[in-house]
């Protein structure tokens, strides 16, 4: 086990020992599913082989060609290592099996296991809502549909088992499968073509929902009014989409660039959208624009769109606005009087803390002088200082990007006391996770100058039903049924810690109890326990 130790708080200094160890990090027993909501493809195998059972990662057998096939078919941008299997979530892919038990081969599975596995698969599909379910072998598909597999062909199937999902049968990627690699590659290439078609249709739907939410719901634009979009060149596609939507709504449209003149000569009834790209968000002139006396928070009916990638922005902001806000409000009412919260997860999180009253958000900008920050995607609070205790595991992403290794923190009296890396094994071939490396380096740098950078400053629950795990941390925080913890400053979330640093990571499939009542179980909200 490779650990990272942190100096006691009383010294005011930060001392990280064994940073990025050069040995073996701890593994979870068995092979965990790689699952998240709103997947593009859910890959389904028979069951983990011996090597996957030993290492805890999918398709780890030395003769298994799954990772080669993903890369050579264009389904993945590069050849991933089995130890990087959790990065599939950022591509929109999930990984699971009909049966979780490890065996030397699928022939060792018993019929009752396969029947029970088919039932369990239905629940996984309900949770992940994949556009495509890809079965890795005709036998896998036959088990899922309860047939002997006679007459099955590879490729897209004429009907789907699950409503809203295509069924695609691909060859097993196991080295034991006798189909030539070139034939397997051709079938995976056909899957890549289907993924491209589905993704294009999804993006159109997300974009349409985004435009409707911005114009009709968030800003409530009326015919004859002017919609002004202030953006940089990297956001021109977004501006053109809103221009078409404004025309359909009978509104005038104006596009401007960032700068002091961006908000000049705007009428009080105008609707304003500020849409910076990630690069523009780092520009001081944008921060200055938001602070102007006649800026968006002071006078105008305005919407600030977070600086995240366009596809992520369209997806998150396509969620039906009224339904989303109604659910968001129910969760806030449920949590407003909470005193004690406990969070557990399959990855090993087990942490509890006292909470302050949850912070409300402005949900619309329907009147002059109202300002809205994106489409609400999370409910947040600041844990009471020194009340957080237990083990916290970031297993999906941190603010710097998606993780292939997990990171486990021991928290005592609200402060990080030690860190462990989890996810690499002997012979994995995968280099240390560069995102995790950078996170630990930045954590050390922050805490050296400001020890409170190691204190738990924020807890949030995701409420956005359209979001999925991606390269955007803003989207990851919003995923319905996820939760996140951030270290450092907390004043903006109702806490008392004021300082220069704030950032943390995401916990997937959490179970959350509020004053002993379960409101979230394995990533699914318990509706009857919400207000």
pLDDT tens across 50-68, in order? 888 888 899 998 899 999 9
Q: What distance, in Å, lies between the first and last C-alpha atoms of the chain? A: 44
CA-based diameter of the chain, in Å?
74
Same domain, 473 and 344: yes
- pLDDT at residue number 10: 30
Q: Whole-angstrom Cα distance, residue 343 to residue 87?
A: 23
Q: Is 85 helix (H, G, I), strand (E, B) or coil?
A: helix
pLDDT for residue 352? 98
Whether the model clears a pTM of 0.85, i.e. scores above it, the answer is: yes
Tell me the percentage of the chain whose pLDDT exceeds 90: 58
266 and 336 both lie in a single domain = no
- State how many domains the chain has: 3
Same domain, 176 and 232: no
Residues 328 and 182 grouped into a single domain: no
Among 280, 307, 334, residue at a domain's last position: 307
Question: Which of 135, 144, 163, 128 lies closest to 522, judged by CA?
Answer: 128
pLDDT 10s digits, 420-452: 998 888 788 999 999 999 999 999 999 999 999
> Domain check: are 347 and 496 in the same one?
yes
* CATH classification at residue 285: 3.40.50
User: Who has greater pLDDT, 166 or 263?
Assistant: 166
Q: Is 106 contained in some domain?
A: yes
Residues 292 and 415 in one domain: no
5 found inside a domain? no
Are 407 and 347 a contacting pair, CB within 8 Å? no
Q: What is the pLDDT of residue 136?
A: 96
Say how far apart CA 76 and CA 57 lie, in whole Å. 17
Residues 351 and 277 in one domain: no
Q: Tell whether 126 is covered by a domain.
A: yes
- Side-chain-facing half-sphere of 50: CA atoms under 13 Å: 5
Domain-located, residue 30: no
Q: Is the Cα dihedral 173, 43, 208, 210 positive or negative? A: negative
Among 115, 128, 105, smallest CA distance to 42 is for 128
Q: Could you read off the pLDDT of 457-492 as tens digits, one per residue? A: 999 999 999 999 999 999 999 999 999 999 999 988
Domain-terminating residue out of 140, 171, 201? 201
User: What does the pLDDT look like over 337-380, one tens digit per residue?
Assistant: 889 999 999 999 999 999 877 654 545 555 554 556 666 688 88
Residues 510 and 432 in one domain: yes
pLDDT over 50 at 6, yes or no:
no
Boundary of a domain, candidates 307, 340, 356: 307
Least Cα distance to 396 among 493, 317, 318, 504 occurs for: 504
Question: What is the span of the domain harbouring residue 267?
Answer: 219-307
User: Which helix (DSSP H) or strand (DSSP E) does residue 115 occupy?
Assistant: helix 111-128
Residue 209 lies in a domain: no
Asked if 362 and 454 sit in the same domain, the reply is yes
CA–chain centroid gap for 438, Å, is 19
Q: What are phi and psi of 481, to 5 degrees?
A: 90, 0
The single residue listed with the structure tokens 């078609």 is 197
Do 179 and 244 share a structural domain?
no
* Residue position matching structure tokens 């930045």: 442
d(CA 222, CA 396): 41
Q: In this structure, are 367 and 432 located in the same domain? A: yes
- Using CA atoms, how far apart are residues 178 and 36, in angstroms rounded to an integer? 32
Q: Is residue 28 part of a domain?
A: no
461 in a structural domain: yes
- Residue 13: inside a domain, yes or no? no
* Residue partners of 121: CB distance under 8 A and separation at least 6: 44, 96, 98, 144
Q: Which CATH number fits the domain that encloses residue 67?
A: 3.40.470.10
Both 154 and 176 in one domain: the answer is yes
């Amino acid at each position: 086990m490779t650990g990272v130790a942190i100096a006691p708080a009383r010294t005011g200094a930060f001392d990280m020992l064994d940073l990025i160890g050069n040995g073996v990090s701890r593994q979870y027993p068995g092979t965990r599913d790689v699952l998240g909501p709103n997947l593009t493809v859910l890959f389904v195998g028979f069951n983990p082989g011996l090597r996957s059972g030993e290492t805890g990662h999918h398709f780890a057998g030395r003769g298994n060609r799954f990772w080669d096939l993903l890369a050579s078919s264009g389904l993945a941008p590069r050849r991933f290592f089995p130890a990087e299997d959790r990065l599939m979530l950022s591509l929109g892919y999930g990984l699971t099996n009909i049966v979780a038990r490890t065996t030397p081969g699928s022939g060792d599975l018993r019929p009752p296991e396969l029947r029970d596995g088919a039932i369990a698969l239905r629940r996984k599909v309900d949770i992940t809502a994949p556009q495509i379910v890809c079965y890795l072998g005709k036998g896998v598909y036959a088990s899922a549909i309860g047939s002997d597999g006679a007459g099955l062909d590879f490729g897209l199937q004429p009907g789907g088992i699950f409503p809203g999902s295509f069924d695609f049968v691909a060859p097993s990627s196991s080295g034991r499968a006798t189909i030539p690699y070139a034939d397997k590659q051709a079938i995976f290439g056909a899957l890549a073509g289907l993924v491209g078609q589905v993704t294009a249709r999804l993006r159109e739907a997300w974009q349409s929902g985004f435009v409707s939410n911005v114009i009709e719901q968030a800003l409530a634009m009326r015919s004859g009014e002017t919609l002004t979009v202030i953006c940089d060149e990297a956001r021109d596609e977004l501006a053109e989409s809103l221009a078409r939507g404004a025309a359909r709504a009978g509104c005038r449209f104006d596009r401007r660039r960032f700068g002091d003149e961006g908000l000049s000569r705007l009428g009080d009834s105008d609707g304003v959208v500020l849409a910076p790209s990630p690069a523009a968000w780092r520009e001081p002139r944008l921060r200055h624009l938001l602070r102007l006396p006649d800026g968006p928070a002071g006078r105008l009916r305005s919407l600030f769109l977070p600086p995240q990638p366009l596809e992520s922005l369209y997806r998150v902001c396509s969620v039906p606005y009224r339904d989303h806000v109604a659910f968001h409000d129910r969760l806030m009412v449920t949590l407003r009087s909470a005193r004690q919260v406990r969070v557990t997860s399959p990855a090993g999180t087990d942490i509890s803390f006292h909470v302050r009253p949850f912070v409300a958000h402005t949900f619309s900008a329907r009147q002059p002088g109202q300002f809205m920050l994106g489409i609400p995607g999370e409910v947040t609070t600041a844990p009471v200082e020194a009340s957080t205790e237990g083990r916290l595991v970031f297993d999906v992403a941190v603010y710097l990007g998606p993780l292939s290794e997990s990171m486990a923190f021991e928290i005592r009296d609200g402060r990080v006391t030690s860190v462990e890396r989890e996810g690499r094994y002997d012979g994995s071939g995968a280099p240390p996770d560069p995102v995790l490396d950078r996170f630990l380096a930045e954590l050390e740098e922050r805490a050296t100058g400001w020890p409170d950078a190691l204190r738990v400053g924020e807890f949030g629950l995701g409420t956005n039903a359209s979001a999925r795990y991606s390269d955007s941390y803003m989207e990851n925080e919003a995923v319905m049924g996820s939760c996140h913890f951030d270290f450092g400053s907390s004043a903006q979330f109702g806490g008392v810690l004021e300082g220069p640093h704030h950032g943390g990571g995401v916990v997937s499939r959490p179970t959350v109890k509020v004053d002993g009542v379960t409101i979230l179980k394995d990533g699914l909200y318990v509706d009857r326990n919400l207000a």
